[in-house]
Homo-oligomer: A and B are copies of this chain.
Amino acid sequence: MKIIELKETITASNDLDAEVLRGEMKAKKTLLINLMASPGAGKTTLLEKIISNLSPKYKIGVLEADVDSDVDAIRVSMAGAKAIQVHTGGMCHMDAGMTRCGLEALEYDELDLVFLENVGNLICPAEFDTGAGKKIMILSTPEGDDKPLKYPLMFRESDCLVISKMDVKDYFDFDLDKCINRAKALNPNIVIFPLSAKTGDGFSEFIKWLTEQIEEWIR
């Protein structure tokens, strides 16, 4: 597995860098999605399912951002995506410059869809525009329905909230309505998909929305 060692990009203009990158990717018809969640919320599992669903139709790449290891990049590349592992040099997030380095190493020109699987963290990744066209966050039911109260920026910044591990929601006393109301109070436009990657429930609605986003970006 190819591993890229990154250092934080020293730039005062991350927002500008991100806009430039987003424009370039729009021109090349590649949709970059910034996928964010806590450690263990199910980012890689969701990606594996997306890849096996969409890879016949779209060419998919994945930038796996982690402080260490390459276990996730191996998993998504076995699922059928072009994958690269980026190490963040201890950093808790990816910024636009780091994302550009990863994309160049991935040679993304021929790809329709690239996922940036961000570092597992509900705080810092929300603060940095990576240049992605869409931002998806995952909250897993074992984490609790109070998370919008405690990590509001992530919910405000995301276009889409996937509520994962719905098959165990009752075991963890996760109140779906409360969680949805809390997320919508922070971000009325957020699109929410409760699903279980294990049972497949709710997955097709999410894939339908994702396909619409890709089609809109690449047309």
State the A residues within 8 Å of B (CB): 38-40, 66-69, 71-72, 90, 92, 119-124, 127, 140, 142-144, 146-147, 149-153, 165, 168, 171
Given A67-B151, A153-B67, decide whether A92 and B124 contact each other with a Cβ distance below 8 A.
yes
Question: Contact at A150–B39, with CB atoms within 8 Å?
Answer: yes
CA–CA, A90 to B142, complex, Å? 24
Q: Kindly report how many copies of this chain are found in the complex they form together.
A: 2
The reply to whether B153 and A40 form a contact with Cβ atoms under 8 Å apart is no
* Nearest Cβ on chain B to A140's Cβ, whole angstroms: 7
- Once the chains bind, are B123 and A92 in contact (CB under 8 Å)? yes
Q: Are A40 and B143 in contact (CB under 8 A)?
A: yes
With beta carbons under 8 angstroms apart, the residue of B92, B120, B150 that contacts A150 is B120
Q: How far is the CA of A140 from the CA of B143 in the complex (A)?
A: 10
Question: What residues of B have a CB within 8 angstroms of the CB of A124 in the complex?
Answer: 92, 121, 123-124
Q: CA separation between A123 and B90, bound complex, in Å?
A: 8
Closest to A70 in B: B149
CB distance from A148 to the nearest CB of B (A): 9
Contact A68 B150 (CB under 8 A): yes
Query: Please, which residues of chain B bring their CB within 8 A of the CB of A143?
Result: 38-40
Structural contact, A149 and B38, CB atoms closer than 8 A: no
**Closest CB of chain B to A168's CB: distance in Å?**
7
B71, B92, B123, B153: which contacts A149 (Cβ < 8 A)?
B71
B contact residues around A120 at 8 Å (CB): 38, 122-123, 150-151
Within the assembled complex, what's the spacing in Å between the Cα atoms of A165 and B152?
A: 25
**Selected A-B contacts with CB under 8 Å, 10 pairs:** A38-B40, A39-B143, A39-B150, A40-B140, A66-B150, A68-B149, A71-B146, A120-B123, A142-B168, A168-B168
CB distance from A22 to the nearest CB of B (A): 24
